[in-house]
């Protein structure tokens, strides 16, 4: 796992968006550090997503949602040069899955976009929300809004679609970078987290069901057998 975190760190210049950070000294910063330390320890990923005793679930979900945004952002940055309107004219996952963009403001109806544009808008959309103090308060004295978990479900569902596109259309690029073990580790961590807390629907996860089953059957985070 440490090599995975080191890989992301070494490629941080390729990040698609500035990294969201927690303020040092805050409870959520400490929770973030605790989660990262658990990953560094090499603990089983399924165990790593379980919330520590006496912690607040909304805090745990907030920390992981931001961390997954940062890391998936970095992963996409490593292959972004291969994801162009010419190579990826739609935001798709093979022939069966296509994702249309809708944000309720500029795009009131589901709209077909090139993958690069879709992901750009997606990252902008997420960044706006995780930087919104009303949605992701940084002070422990400010409660999370009533729709906080629903917001996180939507964020994580859309981040899952980035995995779908990368795995189906750009995994050869990941392999060229010798980063498949890192990508698989990130995906497994994400998958265990969202299924542990029911944050991405089973229907949505169907897009990578076969690959997920192979990954979970493997020993370790490497390439599926």
Binding residues for Zn(2+) are 83, 88, 165, 170
| Cβ pair 77, 14 in contact under 8 A | yes
d(CA 223, CA 70): 22
* C-beta neighbour count of 48 within 10 angstroms: 16
Tokens for 168, please give them.
Answer: 């189906």
Write the CB contacts of 41 (distance below 8 Å, at least 6 apart in sequence): 1
Binding site: what residues are annotated? 83, 88, 165, 170
Q: Is 198 helix (H, G, I), strand (E, B) or coil?
A: coil
Contact yes or no for 92/169 (Cβ under 8 A): yes
Q: Please provide residue 12's backbone torsions phi and psi, each rounded to the nearest 5 degrees.
A: -65, -20
Our CA dihedral for 124, 180, 96, 225, rounded to 10 degrees, sits at -160
3-state secondary structure of 97: strand
């Amino acid at each position: 796992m440490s090599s995975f975190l080191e890989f992301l760190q070494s490629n941080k210049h390729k990040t698609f968006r500035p990294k969201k950070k927690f303020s040092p000294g805050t409870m959520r910063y400490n929770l973030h550090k605790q989660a990262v330390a658990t990953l560094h320890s090499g603990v089983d990923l399924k165990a790593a997503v379980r919330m520590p005793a006496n912690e607040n679930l909304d805090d745990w979900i907030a920390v992981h949602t931001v961390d997954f945004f940062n890391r998936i952002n970095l992963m996409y940055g490593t292959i972004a040069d291969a994801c162009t309107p010419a190579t990826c004219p739609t935001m798709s996952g093979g022939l069966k899955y296509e994702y249309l963009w809708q944000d309720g403001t500029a795009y009131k109806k589901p709209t077909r976009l090139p993958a690069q544009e879709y992901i750009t808008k997606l990252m902008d959309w997420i960044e706006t929300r995780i930087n919104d103090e009303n949605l992701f308060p940084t002070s422990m004295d400010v409660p999370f809004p009533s729709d906080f978990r629903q917001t996180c479900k939507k964020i994580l569902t859309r981040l899952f679609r980035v995995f779908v596109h990368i795995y189906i259309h750009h995994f050869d690029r990941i392999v060229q970078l010798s980063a498949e073990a890192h990508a698989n580790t990130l995906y497994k961590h994400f998958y265990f987290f969202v299924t542990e807390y029911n944050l991405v629907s089973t229907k949505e996860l169907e897009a990578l069901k076969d690959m997920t089953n192979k990954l979970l059957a493997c020993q370790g985070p490497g390439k599926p057998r």
